[in-house]
Amino acid sequence: MKKVFKQGVLIGLTMMLTAALAACGGEKADTVATAKGEAPAAGSGKPSLELLNVSYDPTRELYDQYNKAFAAHWEKEQGQKITFKQSHGGSGKQSRSVIDGLEADVVTLALGYDIDAIRQAGLIQEGWESKFEHNSAPYTSTIVFLVRKGNPKGIQDWPDLIKDGVEVITPNPQTSGGARWNYLAAWGYALKANNNDEAKAQEFVKELFTHVPVLDSGARGATTTFVERGIGDVLLAWENEAYLSINELGPDKFEIVNPSISILAEPPVAVVDKNVDKRGTREVAEAYLKYLYSEEGQTIAAENYYRPTLGSVADKYKDKFPAIELFTIKDVFGTWEETQTKHFNDGGIFNQIYVPGS
C-alpha cells in the first residue's frame, strides 16, 4: 500500500515537473531547433561576438561559405572573432519567428514583404530598403523553367506553358514566398504581351494555374514533386535553385530553359535594429551585410548561382547568367504591400482563380 502511494506521488511530481518544463520551454524550443551553429571559435584575446543570420531555405550553401569568408575578413581587419548561427526555413515563417522573438541580428529573406512585416512589428527602422545599395538586395535572381532532358514538350517561353497537355509545377504563392515571384513573373509577361491589359493577364495566369496538378506549400516540396515524383513537364524555379537541382541530380536528367522575359527577383537583407542595439552587435552586423557587396562577397554569391550586382563580378560570370529581359516589382506592380493586397490576400486575384464568384 505504501509503495503504491509513493509511486503515485512520484508520478504526480514528475507530471508537474514535465508541465512546468513544457510551459517554460515552449517559447524557446522553436528558435533553438532551427539554429545551426558554426564551429565555435577557440578562445582569443578580444571578446568574440556571435551573429544570428535568419535566412530562407536555398541560401544554406551560400551563407556557409560567406560566413567563413567574412569571419576571416573581420578577424584580419578588427582582430575580433565572429561566430555565426544560421537559421533557414520558409521566408514567411522565418519572418514570423523574428517577430515572435527570435533574436536575429540580420535577416536575409526571399522578398521585401517579409522584411517589411518585421518593420511593421517595430523591430526594423523605416527606410531599410535604401540602407544598402540596390534596394538592399546584394544579389538577385530570376525565374526560369526547369524541364526534363531533351525538352520533350518543346517548352521555350511562357505561352508554351498553357498548351494542351503541359503540366506546370509551382508552389502555392500564398504559402510560399518564393512562389510569389513565379506568379508575378507570369503576370508581368502576360501584361507585356497584351499591352498592359489586366483582364488578359488575369486570364493567362488563371489558365496557367489550371495546368498545375499539384500545388505544393513550399519551393522544396514543388522541387520534390517535379524531380522525385516525376510529375509535370516544367518546374517554375528560381534560377539559383534550378542550377542547384541540376548540380545535385546530374545534368543528364534536366535542363534549364530561359524565357524571353522574366522578373528580377531581389531577395533583400536588413539589420534588425532593435536586436543589434540590444546585443551591441550593430557595427559588425552592418559590416556583415555590407561585405556582401564586396568583390569577395559577390563572387561567393555568383558561385552559388545568384546574379551578382557588382559590375566587375557580373562581367566575370556573364556566361553563367544568360541575358534575359528582366522587369522589377517596382516597374510593374508598385510596392510589395500593394502587390500583396491585390494578388495574394483574401479576396485577391489568386483567390478568384480557384473560388468561383469571389
For another protein, the binding residue among 177, 178, 188, 308 (CB under 8 A) is 177
The three cell numbers locating residue 286: 552592418
For another protein, the binding residue among 92, 138, 297, 308 (CB under 8 A) is 92
Q: Find the part of the chain contacting another protein (CB under 8 A) among 44-52, 67-75, 275-283, 340-348.
A: 340-348
For another protein, the binding residue among 15, 29, 32, 72 (CB under 8 A) is 15
Residue 35 CA, distance from chain mean position: 16
Is 354 one of the binding residues for another protein (CB under 8 A)?
Answer: yes
Measured N-to-C along each axis, helices 219-227 and 177-193 cross at an angle, to the nearest 10 degrees, of 80
d(Cα 39, Cα 48) in Å, to the nearest integer? 13
Nearer Cβ to another protein, position 148 or 307? 148
Binding mask 236-265 for another protein (x = CB under 8 A): ------------------------------
Q: Find the part of the chain contacting another protein (CB under 8 A) among 7-15, 77-85, 140-148, 315-323.
A: 7-15
Please report where in the chains the cell 499539384 appears, as a residue. Answer: 214
Nearer Cβ to another protein, position 19 or 249? 19
Other CB atoms within 10 A of residue 2 CB: 6
For another protein, the binding residue among 256, 257, 340, 349 (CB under 8 A) is 340
Dihedral sign, CA of 162, 167, 169, 173?
positive
Q: How many residues appear in the chain? A: 358
Is 224 one of the binding residues for another protein (CB under 8 A)?
Answer: yes
Spell out the alpha helix ranges (H) of 121-218.
133-136, 177-193, 198-210
- Smallest gap, in angstroms, from Cβ of residue 15 to another protein? 6
d(Cα 348, Cα 196) in Å, to the nearest integer? 19
Q: Which burial class, exposed, middle or buried, applies to 357 when counting CB atoms under 10 A from its CB (0-12, 13-18, 19+)?
A: exposed
Q: Which residues bind another protein (CB under 8 A)?
A: 4-5, 8-9, 12, 15-16, 19-20, 22-23, 26, 90, 92-93, 95-96, 117, 172, 174-177, 213-217, 221, 224, 228-231, 340, 344-346, 351, 354-355, 358
